[in-house]
Amino acid sequence: MSGFEYLSVLLSIIIGLGLTHIAKGITRSVIARETDQTRLVYALFTILVILLNWWVIFQWSDHENWTFSEFLVLVGWAFGHYLMAITLYPPADSHSGSFENYRHWFMWTFVVMTFMDMAQTALRGDFFNPWYYSIFVGHYSLLALSGIFIKSSRYHRILSWWFLGVTLTWALIVRRFLG
């Protein structure tokens, strides 16, 4: 078993837990007939981000000489995805009320995730490849930071759709035709 195969098992487990948690949260919301469109769109966005980044992990498959710092960054990156899922649908006993009461935690974890993504991309040596990567991830950071401090439900509804739309565009168009 190669070092990548060994590490990818752990990363896949952590990422799988995040996806499972979101699926469980969406299911609970549907059964409870919650009408929070914003959280659902953030959930779809988070699922897409997790799947995209799980795909990106494969870019490490030809890496041979692993260091503990690379291991820590990748595990932290995967764990950050899990934290996004947990803050999107906190355990039932930790919070009461609507998503609006604690969405700032989701935004904070997403901001941290953008920095973790930049760290793993820089470790791989692809921070400026493509040249617009840092601009793309930077815009996510700035918008998520604004989402921490702007409490407007309308703003978050628009922001959630923006995140989902831009991520779909990145995944299906930019990476395919411009990457």
CA angle 7, 8, 12 (to 5 degrees): 125
If we measure between CA atoms, which residue out of 23, 31, 24, 27 comes closest to residue 47? 23
CA–CA dist 34, 84 (Å, integer): 20
Q: What is the pLDDT of residue 35?
A: 81
CA–CA dist 64, 42 (Å, integer): 36
Q: What is the pLDDT of residue 147?
A: 95
If we measure between CA atoms, which residue out of 126, 6, 128 comes closest to residue 59? 126
Residue 66: Cβ within 10 Å count: 15
179 versus 8: the higher-pLDDT residue is 8
CA–CA dist 90, 158 (Å, integer): 22
Residue bearing tokens 């959930």: 43
- Burial category of 170 from C-beta neighbours within 10 Å (exposed 0-12, middle 13-18, buried 19 and up): buried
Instruction: Tell me how many helices (H) and strands (E) the chain has.
Output: 6, 0
178: confidence class by pLDDT, cuts 50, 70, 90:
low
35 phi/psi in degrees, rounded to 5: -115, 20
Say if residues 38 and 162 touch (Cβ distance below 8 Å).
no
pLDDT digits 0-9 by tens, 49-103? 999 999 888 888 888 889 999 999 999 999 999 999 999 998 865 555 578 878 9
Q: What is the pLDDT of residue 96?
A: 55
If we measure between CA atoms, which residue out of 151, 161, 176, 133 comes closest to residue 45? 161
pLDDT digits 0-9 by tens, 12-56? 999 999 999 999 999 988 898 888 899 999 999 999 999 999 988
CA–CA dist 88, 84 (Å, integer): 6
Residue 174: Cβ within 10 Å count: 15
Q: What is the pLDDT of residue 155?
A: 96
